[in-house]
Every structure is written in structure tokens, then in C-alpha cells.
Structure 1
Amino acid sequence: MRYDTIIIGGSFAGLSAALYLGRASRSVCVLDTRAPRNRFASASHGVFAQDGSDPMTMLATMRAQVAAYPTVRFVDEAAVGAVHENNAFSVTLTKGEVVSGTTLLLAFGITDILPDLPGVAERWGKSVIHCPYCHGYEFNGKRLGVLNLSPMSVHQASLIPEWGPTTFFLNGGAIEQDAAADLVRRGVTIEPAPIERLVGEDAAPFAIRLSNGNEQPLDALFIGPPYRFSSDIAEQLGCAIKAGQLGPCVTVDEMKATNVAGVFAAGDITRSGHTVTFACADGVMAALAIHRSLIF
């Protein structure tokens, strides 16, 4: 069977696109690894009518609603290869099946590259967090830290004091004098010592153990880790890719079309700002563009 659209990625962007295409009675195959980026978080915030909901529960509800449309099929496998031949896209799955589609939507998301610092991974999405707009309110007025990972960390450190008293952990790194002065004016404490590990039994509170033996208690640590694409399909197809603030972005136009005819992209892989709301909106826009491309 040749589908109207193959969607690589079954998270918020991919499901939003599948919903709109299903409602247009178009045949859709959604490839879903069931490993969304925000699976580490217990709650998603800033989404109308879903504020504070478990993101995995949200996705399960969305998937069930999309699956009710008879023209939508789900396959719980990753795409490992994609080629354009005979006016169609052939996508090879992990178990060897090949599915064919007239158009292709890339919505496979990104994978955060966490720092190799003991105690970070087990707290990721709980008390080691990235976005203050998504999770800052829950730590409002508490002891906050920012980990120095890149030049963007200075900007992050200047923003976090909006939510509480903030320490910027240089972790043995350097900071320009003017940037340090700006942070001090914002009330930020700068800690230059390298970090040994995060200690404590629970997600929060915990403590930062420094190389000098001192420990500083915290309720939340904000980090801005780099990221990579969760799939290399965009590169395989020759999609234009540009450098974002912390990782790559697939280049798309206002209708979410890539430079490769018939290939669209949506969600975190297309932007530097990452929220559930953005992802859903991107998926809807991509679906509208795909539907029009199929008609005209």
C-alpha cells in the first residue's frame, strides 16, 4: 500500500499532523518509537486545558483519538532508511518492512546530550531541568542553580533569578568580566569551583558537591544541554540543515516544507524554542501544507 503521508515520529508534532490528515480522510502511516523527549518529566506545563498533565498520558490520549480514524495506521518501529524513487518515498523500518508514501513528514524529535556529571541523568526532567517557562513555577522562590555548559548558559543564568535566588556554577570554566558583572547586578552568585557530583537520595532537594569538598543545597538545577537529531533521515534525504543555538535544525519555510520536494518537517527538529504548544502548532501547519500538496 502507498500512503498519502508517512509521518516519522509519533509525539506531539506527529500526532497533531496525523489528526488533521486523518480528518481529511487521507491515508497516513505513523512511525512511533514511543520514546518522546519529555518522557522523563512527570508533568507538562503551559498547555491549555492540560497544564500539569503527565506528558505520556497526554500522548496516549492523543494517539487513541488519532487511531480512531480508519485511514491512520500506527507502526511502533523506527525508520532507519528513506529514499525517493518512482515518485514516492520508501521508508525502511527496523525489522525490515518497507512502507511507501507520496509525502513524508519528519517529526522524529531530538535527543538531549546530558553532561557527564554523576547525579544529573537520574534527576533529569524532575529537579534538573531546562526550561523555566515549563517547570520554573514549581520551584518559585526556592534555591536555584544554573550549570555552565555553553555561552548560552550565561543568558540562562541571567533569566533564572525571575524564579528565585540563583547560583551560576562555572564548573571550572571562565566567564567574561562584563558578563559576570551583569549577573551580579541580577543578584546571581557565581561559584567558580569544579563540580564533583550531585548528591542526595531524592530528586529534590539535593546538593552540589564541589571539588573543594563544599556542598551547596539546591532545589533545582537548570541546564541547557546540546542536542542531536533522534534520527539521521533528514541527512539521508538531503534536507538543508542549519546550526541552532544548542543543536541542528532542519530548514523549513512558513508551511513547514523542506528544500526536498514532498518532504516536510515539524516540531523540535525545526526550531530552537521547544514546547508542546509549538510542536502541536507545527504539526497542524505541516498537515495543512501536506494536504494542499496532495490536492494541487
Structure 2
Amino acid sequence: MNDVVIIGGSFAGLAAALQLGRARRKVIVLDTGRPRNRFAGHSHGLLGHDHKPPLDILVEARQQLARYPSIRLVNARAESVSGAIDDFCVVTDDNESLKARRLILSYGIVDQMPDVLGFAESWGTSIVPCPYCDGFEVAGQHWGLVWSGPQSHQSARLFHDWTDKLTVFADGHDIPSDIQADLTHRHIPVVDGRIVEIAHHKDHITTVILDTRRNVAVDILFAHPRNKPSASLHQSLGLVTMDTPTGIVLKVDERRQTTMPGIYAAGDLTTPFLPSVTQASSQGAMAGIFAQQSMLV
């Protein structure tokens, strides 16, 4: 019997494994090797690893975990989960059955690219979601923001700390008049029309092509496409989720436990706003600690 099976081996999952391994708990980490930020050239804001490629950070993290004999890293996908606290069973895609007293879900989310020519190819390079992750490197340049709902107003206000030149693309949304007035007050132009194509050039330079036959060049484009959990295990378990402007996240309490006793969650799967490697690592560490403490006798 394992103490914990962790489903998802990116920043949150490995951080959880580290804490559990240091407590000499028997841990298995299942990972498919497809982290959400694999498209990014560099990861920013993680103390000690700022401006490193995210995949390089994960390779180094796995190497560091090798010194803990109670941690086993497995390249596999969890196909099903059953059981209850102290008696969970995870079946992998190679038909291995893993027993565990606790589970940590950290399988993250996947971004759902809009049906816009060039958008997916530009994701992570000239189209990014987070100013804390990528804003410093393009500070002072011309930013674009694809409007996705009321939450975009906060983004427009937030971006002022990085740049004074911002263009908002309405992309078919009807922006309320009071918000329009505030954007005008902030000298932020709003471009009407739907985006039909993204033309990526060298570095971050992007041309946004609209159905109005207007083309607008920006240095970086911020967008927040819909996302969804990268697996459906939470659905089969009946875990409670919460709706957010960009998708759903798992509901957890202050100890990172989901609505089923013995199952914890961390990382982008539980983060409704501005997810980052820093948040994922912190949440993963706490999930590991709280899972370990829940097994004390």
C-alpha cells in the first residue's frame, strides 16, 4: 500500500512529492510529460529558477527527487480511480493497479484554442495569458488584449504597471458603456470586429487581422482562452467544481482537500485566476504536507 498516489507530475505534483518524500512517505507520481507551459520558452517568477525553460526546471526537479528512495516517478496516465480514504485504487493506462491511502490530483488544465488561424501556433510565444509570467520582458512595448468578458477590465487596469500603450480587441464582445468610458479615460483604444487570423513575425511582433479588413500590429498579445481539466477523474469521483470566467476548477478547502475525504488537489486544476509555477509549487507543497498530516496516528 502506497501512502499517496499523485496524479500529475508537473510543478504542483513534484512539489507535493518532495514534501512527502522528505517525510519518508511512500509516494508514486504519475505523469504524462505534457505540462501546460511546455510551449513557453522561459518560466518567470519562480525564485531560484527565474528565466529558465520550464522543461529544464522539471528535469532538474526530477533529478533531485531521485535521492528520496520512497518516491517513484512513473510515466503513465491514470485511467480510473475508485475507493475511499485509506483504500484508493488507481488504474493506469498500462493496467497497473496502484493502492494508496491518499490521492493528490495535480493533472492541470489544457487551454482550448479558439478557431482563429495562427492562434495556436503563436500560443506561448507572441500570445500569452499572464503579465506576471511574461510582462517584464516586454515592458514598455505595445500590448494587445483580447477581450473575453468583464474580467478583462481588471487586466486592462493591471497592465498599466508594465506599459502605457495598450490596445483592446473587442473580438465580438459588447463591452458595457461604463467600462468603455473607463477605457477611454485611460487612453486605451478599443478595436471592434472579430479576430480572424493571427500573423506571427519575428520575436513577439504579432499582427491581428480582423473581419473588418483592419490589421493591427502589436508587440505582444494577451489572451485568456477557455480551458478545461486535462483529465476527467474528478467527474468520475463526483468532486465539486467551481465555474470561473475561463473554465472550471476543483473546489478545495484551506487544507487543499477536495470534497471527498482523502483526496487533495493543487496547481492550475484549482487556480481560477493568474495561475503560475510559483502558485502551483506552493499549493503542491501544502497539499503534500496536509496529506501527510492527515495520516498521522
TM-score range (shorter-chain normalised) is over 0.9
The amino acid of 2:222's aligned partner reads: F
> Per-residue displacement from partner, 1:227-279 (whole Å, max 9, x unpaired)?
11111111211222122232212111111112211111111112213111111
After TM superposition, the structure 1 = structure 2 runs for residues 12-27 of structure 1, keeping only pairs within 5 Å, are: 12-27=11-26
Report the counterpart of residue 280 of structure 2 in structure 1.
279
Q: What amino acid is aligned across from residue 279 of structure 1 in structure 2?
A: A
Aligned to 2:294: 293
Q: What secondary structure is seen at the aligned counterpart in 1 of 2:295?
A: helix
Q: CA RMSD in A?
A: 1.5
Task: Give the deviation of 1:10 after TM superposition.
Answer: 0.2
Residues 210-221 of structure 1 aligned to structure 2 (within 5 Å): 210-221=210-221
Length-normalised TM-score, structure 1: 0.95
Residue correspondence of structure 1 range 76-87 to structure 2 within 5 A: 76-84=75-83, 87=86
> In structure 2, what is the Cα distance between the partners aligned to 1:161 and 1:177?
21
8 Å contact from structure 1 (residues 161, 188) kept in 2: no
Kindly state the Cα deviation for residue 86 of structure 1 after the two structures are TM-superposed: 9.1
SS at match of 1:295: coil
User: 1:43-62 counterparts in 2 under 5 A?
Assistant: 43-62=42-61
* Distance across 1 between alignment mates of 2:76 and 2:202: 34
Cα distance, 1:109 vs. partner? 0.7
Q: CA deviation at 1:162?
A: 3.1
- The percent identity for this pair of structures is 37
Aligned length: 295
Q: Structure 1 residues 206 and 271, CA, compared in 2 at 3 Å: closer, same or farther?
A: closer
Q: Which runs of 5+ in 2 are unaligned?
A: none
Q: If the length of structure 2 is used for normalisation, what is the TM-score?
A: 0.95
Cα distance in 1 for partners of 2:153, 2:53 equals 30
Shift of 1:122: 1.0
Is 1:263 the counterpart of 2:245 in the alignment?
no
> 1:128 Cα shift?
0.2
CA contact (8 A) 1:114 1:121 kept: yes
CA contact (8 A) 2:126 2:200 kept: no
1:178-189 matches, within 5 Å, as 178-189=178-189
Whether the 8 Å contact between 1:255 and 1:286 is mirrored in structure 2 is: yes
Q: Is the 8 A contact 1:152 1:224 kept in 2?
A: no
1:101 alignment counterpart: 100
Out of 99-108 and 153-162, give the one that drifted further: 153-162
CA distance in 2, matches of 1:210, 1:288: 49
Shift of 1:203: 5.0
Match of 2:251 in 1: 251
Tell me the distance in 1 between the aligned counterparts of 2:174 and 2:31: 42
Mapped to 2, the partners of 1:9 and 1:105 lie a distance apart of 8
